[in-house]
Structure 1
Amino acid sequence: MEENQLFPVFFKLHRLHVLVVGGGNIGLEKTQAMLQNCPQSNITVVALDFLPDLLEIAQQYPNITLIQKSFSCGDLLGKDLVIAATNKRELNYCIWEKAKGIKVLINVADTPDLCDFYLGSVVQKGNLKIAISTNGKSPTIAKRLKQVLQEAIPDTLDEVLSKLYVIRDRLKGDFTSKVKKLNSITDVLVRPESESV
């Protein structure tokens, strides 16, 4: 039976430069997803036409650049990640080929076989961020799980994280002893309710 072999990674998009090829609904969705997670994302969008919403986003975020033209190999230069978000399979495949040729990681929208990475559904509560992947099998299930987790995780968890950060910073000793102490402190978070009373 096939298992999810993906290795979860959180990119610091404010330090990277992302190229999105496509100014339609898919390009808009991918751009919005990145900005939602990191408003300082450095994104260049290349397309012949842009949806009005993308034009509006570019006015709101100075780190978003829209270039109105056809895709060319030169668009890949200096980019760390690429998202092929056009509705033309041949063009998306061409972008994939060029990106692979210069070893740039690429996501080809709605084509899992041509993706080096996926943009998963994300649950966020302050500093806590959980990414959900179905290995490209069902983005709908990922979105439903996101809704469940978003409601189940209390908003106050970010306050707990902040306090634990302060405690971790004040602990003395080597790494192993710090981990033991933090495990002891946070044990109450996973203890069954019957034992907590």
Structure 2
Amino acid sequence: MSDQVSNQLFPVFLQLNRLQTLLVGGGNVALEKLTALLGNSPHASVKVVGKEISREIRVFTRAYPSVTLYERAFENADLDGVDVVVVAADNADLNVHIRNESRKRHLLINVADKPDLCDFYLGSIVKKGNLKLGISTNGKSPTIAKRIKELLNEALPEEIDETLNYMSQLRDLLKGDFADKVRTLNAHTVSLLASKDEK
């Protein structure tokens, strides 16, 4: 089976501001996950549970009123009312326990550095205004994903958001059936991107 066929990931973009997220852990890895979550969805509702919550997490979350901190051990009841679970605890037994409890409740879970325990991965993200690209190596190499992110950040023009806004306005003004609209939008996209390349 080729690598293209064996990569079974289905890319989605979650509206975390409409979901309840649980983050288990209070150290550096938890801070990294929290930074990724809130960097992409600043209004996400995140409950952080950790035996020890670092000063860095406390300082970072001051700017996010939708984050609540609980400095204590994880309890199964922490999964109540949750939609998404992210585990960044340095405890193999706890990781497996939370994974099993999450599966019983049909919750999506990510366990840091444990691809075999994950339902989803937190990939590298390229963000330019309304444009957001997710990059995943299927858990094989976060380093390569990070490098691709850097390359795309450099390659994409800062004006891309202006183009997206223009295309959105144009789409709203177009008449005709779906196929006509697609043809018109495709033609404008080609001309817009060509003019950006010439600059």
- 1:2 paired residue number: 3
- 2:135 paired residue number: 132
1:130 maps to amino acid? L
Structure-1-length-normalised TM-score? 0.94
- 1:150 paired residue number: 153
> SS of the residue aligned with 1:60?
coil
Distance 2:178 2:147 in 1: 38
- Pairing partner for 2:175 from 172, 187, 196: 172
2:30 maps to amino acid? G
> SS of the residue aligned with 1:8?
coil
Distance 2:14 2:62 in 1: 24
- 1:63 paired residue number: 66
- Pairing partner for 2:32 from 29, 33, 43: 29
1:176 deviates by 1.4
Pairing of 1:19-168 with structure 2 (within 5 A): 19-168=22-171
1:57 deviates by 2.3
1:20 maps to amino acid? L
Preserved contact between residue 163 and residue 192 of structure 2 (Cα < 8 Å): no
> SS of the residue aligned with 1:14?
helix
Aligned length: 195
Distance 2:61 2:141 in 1: 30
Which whole-Å deviations, capped at 9, do the CAs of 1:108-161 have from their partners, x for residues lacking one? 110111110000000011000000000000000000000000000000011011
1:72 deviates by 1.0
Structure 2 gaps of 5+ residues are: none
1:188 deviates by 2.8
1:97 deviates by 0.6
> SS of the residue aligned with 1:20?
strand
Distance 2:3 2:182 in 1: 34
1:187 deviates by 1.9
1:33 deviates by 0.4
Structure-2-length-normalised TM-score? 0.93
Which whole-Å deviations, capped at 9, do the CAs of 1:79-120 have from their partners, x for residues lacking one? 000011101111111110100011000001101111100000
RMSD value, Cα:
1.7
Structure 1 gaps of 5+ residues are: none
